A and B are shown apart, each in its own frame.
Chain A
């Protein structure tokens, strides 16, 4: 096993100075679609095109999921419309051996990571708490508690290092989630252990209805990194190129044994918390409009068209591909989910106990009796 230094931060990073974020958020492509050279080298053209393609599909999928909720096909859907650059940019920066630890809002990221969309929606449909195999695409299950998954990511990454494997864990967390104790503990453990973890905070300004100002008094969330001894990076979260580049650099650094990074991505949640939320109660319409003008898809499209990397035909193709994707999801979601009550008892322990078997058999006998009545 590779030696893991459980001691203090290595001397190569003098305490304090390089850990603070830059004064302005890193940007490679501005809202108008223009290149920002100060942001650093742009990703390759085919990467940019892939970023755009996946955002188009992701945006269409997000809209489809919202529609499914209105049709009663999903119980709830927390939309990431507006956060597309983070959803796509961060995931595409991961290598195959890396792990994604999403929150309940990061459904587009999960789908972008190639998890089957219907399996992904299993939780929100209410068919099962997690419909996909985490090991298939290395995506941890989504769940309701916030920030608890950050510790799981740190543990998983640490175990990889103990075994000499190059695996980086990407943790997605919201601005609200950074107040949770588990976020603090995860950042601390990751830094003390120099675990290969990248923490990406999607700061969309609100935790349901509670604005950032009530969540923290820190100058930025990225500033918190120095408190743990890890670099804090501030980026424009609506710039897919910046997200891709920053996450990619952090992943590479972690993979080299350089330890964790805290990235704060400034973005906005265009939709309400979920379909059952009324965002007009706490946000002004002009604030939303201002952020719509900074839409991640628009700016990348503008840049790509300007650079001759996207034309009408290609754009139309992408729209159709997105439509086909959404239609496929729609059709598959129209079929009734097959729920088996016996399954409630199957995965409590590795093997069901005698008491669980008894309870299951009681329920099944009840249901058979009920079925007999129906068939009478």
Chain B
């Protein structure tokens, strides 16, 4: 309903405000009073129903917009009131000053706190709050840092300032301290003095595409991964004929809930991670931390470039559920509808680069994860089955892994297990 009384923004304070009959429906002109719910002398609260009126369209209960004591009812039951005419008068509550020598007084000029909806700080600068900026036990408040610029540096690098020893006077964290901490997070390497970049060559002519936004973020991430992680890659060719058949059988059974190849690969990966949980870990300082959940990331190619949506607690999903979520997230990624929360927090990544028409990939690990599993195109290739050369549906599985968290035995074991699942899907049955 639109307000027929003074809009909250006009400062018309009155000693005894009249509530005028508002327009209760589009273009209404009058209403008949059916019954009063209050009488003169009653105390009323804001939005309390005070009267029932009948309009051309319906019977309506009308709430009063202010609080106080009813001092007058301006129409008897059965009377018709025109829109904009006074309906009820309410005396101001006692806390107001009433008229003062030089003005209207204190009533009516302030609104209660919280009557405005405030925009929640949804991820706007929210990353600065919480643990990473506060001191450890015993320290109250933010870690003292030499300047806002350096604090920002640390935050953008995801560096917990409470872990940085401050060498400035009174323990202030200096820029040098942050620099050192960041270098220590990378792979153990001797300190390399920063090189002066060579003088830039003359600019190349041609098309220039700026590296910005999501593209830049991904570029930085990939660079960091290669810079910090000592990775190794293992790969194996597998006969996927039985898997392809199994998938066809699954989908024939319930075509309305199809299962894709990526979902099957993902499911096998999840099973394999139970046996080889190190490949789901992350490095924190000098510790390998193995979570008890799997947040599965998968690479999706969109117009805006490579995007890695994350499916949280993927280890709890069935294959069909996984497939459905994968499809939905892929569509969302292509439409640009994913939120930052849905793009971060992964513990391992799977990657179908076969869609590009290639067989193998020494993929880049999605920092700060430690493993990325992928498979290439499935094509007919010559294969030896029971001693006979024949054509089978063959694909290549690859695993790039952070060699700090495990050795070839683990990595090879993991990949072999996934390969076994692909070649004989029944293998997986034992671990379901």
B110 to chain A, nearest CB (A): 14
Task: Say yes or no: B11 contacts A126, CB within 8 Å.
Answer: yes
Residue of B nearest to A124 (CB): B103
Task: Say yes or no: B102 contacts A76, CB within 8 Å.
Answer: yes
Q: From known contacts A72-B16, A373-B116, infer whether A273 and B10 are also in contact, taking CB-CB under 8 Å.
A: no
Residue of A nearest to B10 (CB): A339
Whole-angstrom CA separation of A75 from B13 in the bound complex: 9
Among the interface residues A75, A337, A374, which one has the most CB atoms of the partner chain B within 10 A?
A75
The residues of A that contact B104 with a CB separation of less than 8 Å are: 72, 75, 126
**Counting CB contacts under 8 A, is A9 at the interface?**
no
Whole-angstrom CA separation of A296 from B76 in the bound complex: 46
Residue of B nearest to A70 (CB): B15
Residues of A328-364 whose CB lies within 8 A of B? 336-339, 341
Q: From known contacts A72-B104, A373-B116, infer whether A336 and B12 are also in contact, taking CB-CB under 8 Å.
A: yes
Task: Say yes or no: A76 contacts B15, CB within 8 Å.
Answer: no
Pick the residue among A76, A367, A371, A374 that contacts B99 (CB under 8 A).
A76
The residues of A that contact B15 with a CB separation of less than 8 Å are: 70-72
Task: Say yes or no: A76 contacts B101, CB within 8 Å.
Answer: yes
B236 to chain A, nearest CB (A): 59
Task: Say yes or no: A370 contacts B103, CB within 8 Å.
Answer: no
Task: Say yes or no: A374 contacts B8, CB within 8 Å.
Answer: yes
**Counting CB contacts under 8 A, is A289 at the interface?**
no
Task: Say yes or no: A274 contacts B11, CB within 8 Å.
Answer: no
Task: Say yes or no: B9 contacts A367, CB within 8 Å.
Answer: yes
**Counting CB contacts under 8 A, is A311 at the interface?**
no
Whole-angstrom CA separation of A273 from B10 in the bound complex: 28
**Counting CB contacts under 8 A, is B100 at the interface?**
yes
Residues of B8-27 whose CB lies within 8 A of A? 8-17
Looking at chain A's contact residues, the main secondary structure is loop
**Counting CB contacts under 8 A, is B6 at the interface?**
yes
**Counting CB contacts under 8 A, is A319 at the interface?**
no
Residue of B nearest to A370 (CB): B116
Residue of B nearest to A208 (CB): B101
The residues of A that contact B17 with a CB separation of less than 8 Å are: 72
The residues of B that contact A70 with a CB separation of less than 8 Å are: 15
A364 to chain B, nearest CB (A): 11
**Counting CB contacts under 8 A, is A4 at the interface?**
no
Chain A 124-151 interface 0/1 with B at a Cβ cutoff of 8 Å (1 = within) = 0010000000000000000010000000
Whole-angstrom CA separation of A337 from B12 in the bound complex: 8
Whole-angstrom CA separation of A70 from B16 in the bound complex: 10
The residues of A that contact B116 with a CB separation of less than 8 Å are: 369-370, 373
**Counting CB contacts under 8 A, is A307 at the interface?**
no
A342 to chain B, nearest CB (A): 11
**Counting CB contacts under 8 A, is A69 at the interface?**
yes
**Counting CB contacts under 8 A, is B117 at the interface?**
yes
A175 to chain B, nearest CB (A): 19
**Counting CB contacts under 8 A, is A275 at the interface?**
yes
The tally of residues in A whose CB lies under 8 Å from a CB in B reads 25
Pick the residue among B7, B12, B101 that contacts A277 (CB under 8 A).
B101
The residues of B that contact A369 with a CB separation of less than 8 Å are: 116-117
Residues of A238-256 whose CB lies within 8 A of B? none
Task: Say yes or no: B9 contacts A76, CB within 8 Å.
Answer: no
Residue of B nearest to A367 (CB): B9
Chain A 157-197 interface 0/1 with B at a Cβ cutoff of 8 Å (1 = within) = 00000000000000000000000000000000000000000
The residues of B that contact A22 with a CB separation of less than 8 Å are: none
**Counting CB contacts under 8 A, is A35 at the interface?**
no
**Counting CB contacts under 8 A, is A327 at the interface?**
no
Q: From known contacts A72-B104, A76-B101, A373-B117, infer whether A337 and B10 are also in contact, taking CB-CB under 8 Å.
A: yes
Task: Say yes or no: A69 contacts B101, CB within 8 Å.
Answer: no
Residue of A nearest to B118 (CB): A369
Residue of B nearest to A376 (CB): B117
Task: Say yes or no: A69 contacts B103, CB within 8 Å.
Answer: no
The residues of A that contact B102 with a CB separation of less than 8 Å are: 75-76, 144, 274, 276
B379 to chain A, nearest CB (A): 58
Task: Say yes or no: A276 contacts B12, CB within 8 Å.
Answer: no
Residues of A42-101 whose CB lies within 8 A of B? 69-73, 75-76
Whole-angstrom CA separation of A75 from B17 in the bound complex: 14
Task: Say yes or no: A72 contacts B10, CB within 8 Å.
Answer: no
Q: Kindly list 9 other residue pairs between chains A and B, CB separation below 8 angstroms, not including A76-B103, A276-B99.
A: A72-B17, A75-B104, A126-B11, A274-B101, A276-B100, A336-B10, A339-B9, A341-B9, A370-B8
Residue of B nearest to A144 (CB): B102
Whole-angstrom CA separation of A274 from B117 in the bound complex: 40
Q: Closest 3 interchain pairs by CB?
A: A72-B14, A72-B15, A75-B103
Task: Say yes or no: B103 contacts A72, CB within 8 Å.
Answer: no
Whole-angstrom CA separation of A336 from B84 in the bound complex: 12
Residue of A nearest to B104 (CB): A75
